Amino acid sequence: MILSDKYKAGWGRWNTLSSLFTLFIWFIRGLFFRLFWRSSKGLVLIGPSVKIISGHKLSVGKNFIIERGAEINCICSEGIQLGEKVTIGSYATIRPSNLYGGAVGMGLKIGNHSNIGPYSYIGCSGYIEIGNNVMMAPRVSLYAENHNFDSIDVPMKDQGVATAPIIIEDDCWIAANCIILSGVRIGKGSVIAAGSVITKDVAPYSVMGGNPAKKLKTRT
């Protein structure tokens, strides 16, 4: 029992030191990355294999974290603006424009104390604004555009897209595997259940679920 306790204590110290070393490397990487951004404040932590394109259009607030393998494409007309204590989860993608040509998208604004969950996709070719204290679970997808398909004589990929903004107001919780489509506003304090597809505006303090999502109850 005594040996077991010593082993656990030693293992705990090793984990702590390993974590501190990892954060130190992320900090050093952040010092380099931020040299190429429009603006940054406070602490910046950058995980391995992170990709940031056209960082001169990226602005971040204090205590910004972007985790392993995430990608931020900043080729857009409005830029990418991230508030204080924003975290971009592992392998999440923020993409307003296609790297291989086509129209330039609008961009993204995120308020303070909000996060993008791991493996999420933020398609901000139309403008997307996410408020303060918004929790986003893994594999959430936001699409601020739709492909046009009115003509049956022209391939859909050649008919262009129609964009419309997505607004997520303060203090919302977007659970795992949700899809939010263009032109939608999610009201303050709402909860979107896992796997839901949001196609219409959501009133403040609503709890939504299903495909397409329907109101399950009101938090008030």
Tokens of 44: 């910046």
Of the residues 41, 56, 147, 200, only one is catalytic, namely: 147
- What is the pLDDT at residue 19? 87
Q: What is the mean pLDDT of residues 13-22?
A: 83
d(CA 176, CA 127): 22
CA distance to 135, 175, 186, per residue, from 213 (Å):
18, 13, 12
Q: What is the mean pLDDT of residues 111-122?
A: 98
The model's confidence at residue 29, banded by pLDDT at 50, 70 and 90, is very high
- What is the pLDDT at residue 3? 52
Residue 101 has pLDDT above 80, yes or no: no
113 is catalytic: no
DSSP label at residue 76: B
Can you tell me whether residue 13 is helix, strand or coil? helix
- What is the pLDDT at residue 96? 95
Note if the pTM is more than 0.85: yes
d(CA 64, CA 47): 11
The H or E element that residue 147 is part of is strand 145-147
The model's confidence at residue 13, banded by pLDDT at 50, 70 and 90, is confident
d(CA 100, CA 105): 13
Residue 106 has pLDDT above 50, yes or no: yes
Please report, for the domain that includes residue 123, its CATH number: 2.160.10.10
Q: What is the mean pLDDT of residues 31-56?
A: 96
Residue 135 is part of which domain span? 2-218
The model's confidence at residue 1, banded by pLDDT at 50, 70 and 90, is very low
Percent of the chain with pLDDT over 90: 85
Number of domains in the chain: 1
The phi and psi torsions of 69 (rounded to 5 degrees) equal: 75, 5
- What is the pLDDT at residue 11? 60
CB-CB neighbours of 147 under 10 Å: 10
The per-residue pLDDT of the chain, averaged, comes to 93
Residue 181 has pLDDT above 60, yes or no: yes
Tokens of 153: 């004589």
- What is the pLDDT at residue 7? 56
